[in-house]
Structure 1
Amino acid sequence: MGQKKDVKKSVFKWVRITVLALLAGCLVHYAASAYAADETKADNTKAVVATNDKAAETTDVKKEEPTLFEKEGTVKTAEALRSETDTLWTCLAAFLVFFMQAGFALVETGFTRAKNACNIIMKNLMDFSIGSLAFWLVGFGLMFGTTNGYIGTNLFFFDADSTAAIDAKINGHFGWAFLLFQTVFCATAATIVSGAVAERTKFTGYLAYSVLITIIVYPVFGSWCWNSLVLETGKGWLEAKGFLDFAGSTVVHSVGGWAALAGAIVLGPRIGKFKDGKAQPIPGHNIPLAALGVFILWLGWFGFNPGSTTSVSAANGLFAKIAVTTNLAAAAGSITAMITAWSLFKKPDTSFALNGALAGLVSITAGCNVMSPLLAVVTGAVGGVLVVYSVLFIDKLQIDDPVGAVSVHGVCGAWGTIAVGLFMADKGLFTGGGMSQLITQLLGVGVCFAWAFGVSFVIFYVIKKTIGLRVTEEEEFEGLDITEHGITAYPYFQETHK
């Protein structure tokens, strides 16, 4: 036993000695390597210093100017960077405006009854999907193609790499971004109609109208006002007269609003809306859902208005000021709508306050780039008051608009466009510019109403007499979710016959 213990101790002793020897060897090797590295670094430093001294001596002898190639390369690099930044900004703005489709869907769903919720979602999904294709195929060319002042004649089936796009200077990366940005604008005009004709429209009839507003109603009027946004295709006749609508109070919102008015008139009111000549309330099923939609729209408007610069460098960062005027107008509109409704109904009505925010946003859209913050507040505040009285007036006319689309987009869009003629810096009636700009703005508003309402009325009437526009009384009573789509939004707790 004693011998075994001695052997064991001896083994452990030699193991410890071996480990310590290995550690010592490693330390010696590391120290040697570090010393060699320091020597190499010192030699390299001396070489760099010598080279720099030599270069300095050479520079003192002769300082050469950068070559023409180098100068041009720097300029081209800066221009390319600016172009790519503007393209990125335009795409990001388009993404925000696209997200507004979700906002419209939620607002319309919340302001209508539960039995029609899926139908609202389907209409919003399809008017964007159909509109995207139709605008690319035809609408973009009609709106931005080479024009004699009235209608575009090329750029159909738009391809930013085509010869026509190159000639129009809307080619390359920015051409694709511009197409996307204008597509989501067109879709906004189309989806505005959905809310005004909600709860009683045949799905097929609505799809037919979505195609026609995208390829006729919106792009033709848009060409009259915005064609010169493409540099080499000419000017629309209204913009040639000096009509101004920066981001679309009239071009987008009033077009959609007046089209919605035509649809609501041709369709007629929902069953039970007007009894004994008086408007009866048909409450929406989910106001919090509508509120979420309004906040999404508010967010999306930061792409809608500032994005219309299509450039972050335009006018020394004008997009930031536009974001401020947009926000102030929305806030003012919501507050004045709440106060107006409170004074009329003795309660601060939530739906009017929500629509007031949208009214402020629509109102400032035309002049967000040319108004001071104070005048933006005034413009939005007036829009908030207008939307309340407009809703009540349209009810008195026995026109059924479940979400207030005509008042928010048609009426406030017209007001916002007129406000440019009143408040535009140096050109408005109240800013020392006289009557000239105001008259031009009034002309544009009148032409928009005549075109959008007139053509849409004809379209809706033709649809009504051909494929049909309105569902039957039984289908309307049952709810369009079941009768049109075979599903319900809330299958476990929805009351069907309501």
Structure 2
Amino acid sequence: MEEQIAALTAELAALKDATAGLNKTTAETFYWLTIPLMVLIHAGFLSYEMGASRAKNALASGIKNILAFAFIIPTFYYAGWFIYWAFPTGFSMTPGPIGTSGLEYALAAASPVGPAMGPNVADSATGVFFGAFAMFAATTASIMSGSLIERVQIVGFTILAIVLGSFVWILGAAWGWHADGWLVTALGYHDFGASGVVHAIAGFFTLGVLINLGARVGKFNPDGSANAIAGHSMPAALVGLMLIIAGFWGFLMGCVIFPGEAWSWGTGIFHSIYGTPVTLSAMTFNILMGFAGGAIAAWVLTHDPFWMMSGALGGIISVAAGLDLYWPPMAFVIAVIGGLIMPVVARFVERMRIDDAVGAVALHGVVGLWGVVAVGIFAAGYPALPAEGAPTITLFGQIGGALVMAVLGFVPGYVVSLILNKMGLLRVPKQAELIGLDKVKVPVEAYPEFFPGGIPAKTPAE
């Protein structure tokens, strides 16, 4: 009898080890798969920006997008990942209530010369988490990229991309997208799908840059009226926007915490970054409703295919912050409002003589803020954290968090671009802009069979 009990005990222990191993590799694979899905976002931005550019600038627009992606990976490795774990409680780098923050924790978990940041068979989580967050970082730079097309210097843009992707947005994430973040613990801030910490920060950073960069040659007339400067390929822009939306499934997939691991919030169910429960089922309802509501609203308002697809993305951004909480019909209404806000704000920005080539300030900046505030309107009262006595979501907390995100984005964007402008590193010379950046900056031609010599005819705006 004792031998049978011992055998059963050993068999049970082996079964538990096998189950734990399977859960560990499943969790690792889950986050591994978010990374190529999020790369689709960047393939989408690449197509979107090249299509939105005139033919004479198509390759230059694509090259700067790829360079931003490439430069953010090492700079996020050396700085950004550390910032996320070191600064949730503020600049003091003290530990927060959960204990997964502060200088000591960051040195252990995110030091670029430490054992966690390299091959380590005992750690199957850090690398894939880093990869997912690096994709978030690169997304912020891509959001900015399209707005600056056809007149920004590649060097200046790359510096701006590094500042935004590896320093600015991740500080906002530490404050509002971390269970120890002071916006969460003090205000009950809730931003599940990063409407604020990614989209709003990137949108308002872009606004600060655009003020110093100035408009494209021919965009505005002396009386302040604006000329339309059409891109050379609307189909490429639309395909790009659809790829971005496909990639956002990976982006939002990366916003959940897998169950059953030492670093998980619990077993049996996914949780948000804050430790509150969420299911992929609920997310699926609301992502699809967000897509539909934004696309329908923007199409009805504009009858423009560009704004229709931008509206689909704007609808998802509108519901992203509360994706884990909304009832699907509510998500649809919130997305409709976002789809209606976006083109109206874009026209206002243009009337201010700011040349936002793809509407990122409206689509990501203002709609991102709407997504954050909407949680305070439609989901107030939910607990912001799982701990007893934790703060709840409130309209005041969401508005406060939204303002922090806007300021955190705008001020560095304005200051860094102002410095670059003073140094002559922000904008290309006028003659280069008129000839086309592909001719000046790129050693090959995008469409040699259509434009021999690489210089297409000027548009009426020029």
Query: TM-score range, shorter-chain basis?
Result: 0.7 to 0.9
Tell me: CA distance 1:147–1:337, structure 2 relative to 1, closer, same or farther (3 Å): closer
Q: Among 95, 99, 102, which residue is 2:43 paired with? A: 102
1:368 aligns with 2:331: no
1:336 maps to which of 293, 297, 302: 297
For the residues of structure 1 that align with 2:279 and 2:433, how far apart are their CA atoms?
49
2:409 is equivalent to residue 462 of structure 1: no
Within 1, Cα distance between the matches of 2:122 and 2:395?
36
**Which segments of 5 or more consecutive residues in structure 2 lack a partner in the other structure?**
94-101, 260-268, 272-276, 384-390
Partner of 2:163: 212
Partner of 1:314: 270
- In structure 1, how many angstroms separate the alpha carbons of the residues matched to 2:199 and 2:295? 18
Residue 456 of structure 2 is matched in structure 1 by 496
Cα distance between partner residues in 2 of 1:335 and 1:260: 27
* 1:58-111: CA deviation from partner (whole Å, max 9, x where unpaired): x9x997476544434333332332222111111111221122101011111212
Distance in 2, matches of 1:311 and 1:65, equals 33
Cα separation, partners in 2 of 1:436 and 1:306, compared to 1, 3 Å: closer
- Structure 1 residue 426 displacement after superposition: 4.8
Letter in 1 for 2:279: L
Selected match of 1:194 from 116, 123, 145:
145
Cα distance in 2 for residues equivalent to 1:176 and 1:427: 32
Distance 1:126 1:62 in 2: 65
Does residue 1:293 correspond to 2:234, yes or no? no
Counterpart residue number, 1:14 = none
> TM-score, normalised on structure 2?
0.84
User: CA 1:351/1:447 → structure 2, altered by over 3 Å: closer, same or farther?
Assistant: same
Query: In the alignment, does 2:116 pair up with 1:162?
Result: yes
Match of 1:256 among 187, 199, 202: 202
- After superposition, residues 84-233 of structure 1 pair within 5 angstroms as 84-145=25-86, 148-150=89-91, 153=103, 154=107, 155-158=109-112, 161-162=115-116, 172-228=123-179
Identity rate of aligned residues, in percent? 29
Paired residue for 1:266?
A: 212
RMSD: 2.7
After superposition, give the CA deviation of every residue in 1:97-129 in whole Å (9 maximum; x if it has no partner).
Answer: 122101011111212211111111111101110
SS at match of 1:74: helix
For 1:427, give the aligned amino acid.
Answer: Y
1:71 and 2:31 are equivalent in the alignment: no
Q: Which residue of 2 aligns with 1:410?
A: 365
SS at match of 1:135: helix
Q: 2: CA distance between counterparts of 1:416 and 1:383?
A: 8
**In structure 1, distance between residues paired with 2:306 and 2:241:** 10
Report the Cα distance in structure 2 between the residues aligned to 1:213 and 1:163, rounded to whole angstroms: 22
Distance in 2, matches of 1:243 and 1:156, equals 25
Is this contact kept in 2: 1:200–1:470, CA < 8 A? yes
Tell me the amino acid that sits aligned with residue 285 of structure 2: V
Does residue 1:450 correspond to 2:407, yes or no?
A: yes
CA offsets, 1:323-359, max 9 Å, x none? 2311210111011000011xxxxxx211111111111
Task: Indicate whether 1:281 and 2:228 are aligned.
Answer: yes
1:236 aligns with 2:181: yes
- Total equivalences in the alignment: 419
Aligned-residue offset at 1:146: 6.8
Please tell me whether the aligned partners of residues 305 and 323 of structure 1 are also in contact (alpha carbons under 8 angstroms).
Answer: no
Cα displacement (A) at 1:160: 7.7
Using CA pairs under 8 Å that are at least 6 residues apart, name the structure with larger relative contact order, 1 or 2: 2
Please say if residues 131 and 186 of structure 1, whose CA atoms lie closer than 8 Å, have aligned partners that are also in contact. yes
- 1:34 maps to none
Given that 1:386 and 1:412 are in contact with CA atoms closer than 8 Å, whether structure 2 keeps it comes out as: yes
User: Which of the two has higher C-alpha Rg?
Assistant: 1
More helix by share: 1
Shift in Å, 1:436: 5.7
Paired position in structure 1 for 2:250? 303
Query: Which residue of structure 2 aligns with residue 24 of structure 1?
Result: none
Letter in 1 for 2:152: T
Specify which of 337, 342, 351 is matched with residue 306 of structure 2: 351
Aligned AA for 1:281?
A: A
CA change 1:293–1:367 in 2 (3 A) is same
Contact 1:217/1:456 (CA < 8 Å) preserved in 2?
no
Question: What's the counterpart of residue 8 of structure 1?
Answer: none
Whole-Å Cα distance in 2 between the matches of residues 223 and 435 of structure 1? 19
In the alignment, what sits opposite 1:49?
none
Distance 1:388 1:148, change over 3 A: closer
Give the letter aligned to residue 415 of structure 2: V
Cα deviations across residues 347-387 of structure 1 (Å, max 9, x unaligned)? x2111111111111211221111111111111211111011
- The offset of 1:459, in angstroms, is 0.5
Structure 1 spans left out of the alignment, 5+ residues: 1-58, 229-234, 342-347, 429-433
In the TM superposition, what whole-angstrom CA distance separates every residue of 1:209-233 from its partner, at most 9, and x where no partner exists? 12222332122222112243xxxxx
Q: Which moves more between the two structures, 304-313 or 109-118?
A: 304-313
Secondary structure class of the residue paired with 1:201: coil
Residues 1-20 of structure 1 deviation map (CA, whole Å, 9 limit, x = unaligned):
xxxxxxxxxxxxxxxxxxxx
TM-score normalised to the size of structure 1?
0.79
Deviation digits for residues 179-227 of structure 1, max 9, x if unmatched?
1000000100111111111111111111121222233212222211224
Relative distance call for 1:67 and 1:136 in structure 2 (3 A) is: same
Matched, 1:475 2:432: yes
Q: Aligned-pair distance for 1:238?
A: 1.0
Does the CA-based 8 Å contact 1:160-1:176 persist in structure 2?
no
Q: State whether residues 141 and 156 of structure 1, in contact with CA within 8 Å, keep that contact through their aligned partners in structure 2.
A: yes
- For residues 21-63 of structure 1, the C-alpha deviation after alignment (integer angstroms, 9 at most, x for no partner) is xxxxxxxxxxxxxxxxxxxxxxxxxxxxxxxxxxxxxx9x997
Q: Distance in 2 between matches of 1:406 and 1:163?
A: 35
Distance of 2:226 and 2:88 partners within structure 1:
46
Give yes or no for contact 2:294–2:311 (8 Å, CA) kept in 1: yes
2:380–2:395 contact (8 Å) kept in structure 1 = no
Q: Partner letter of residue 496 of structure 1?
A: P
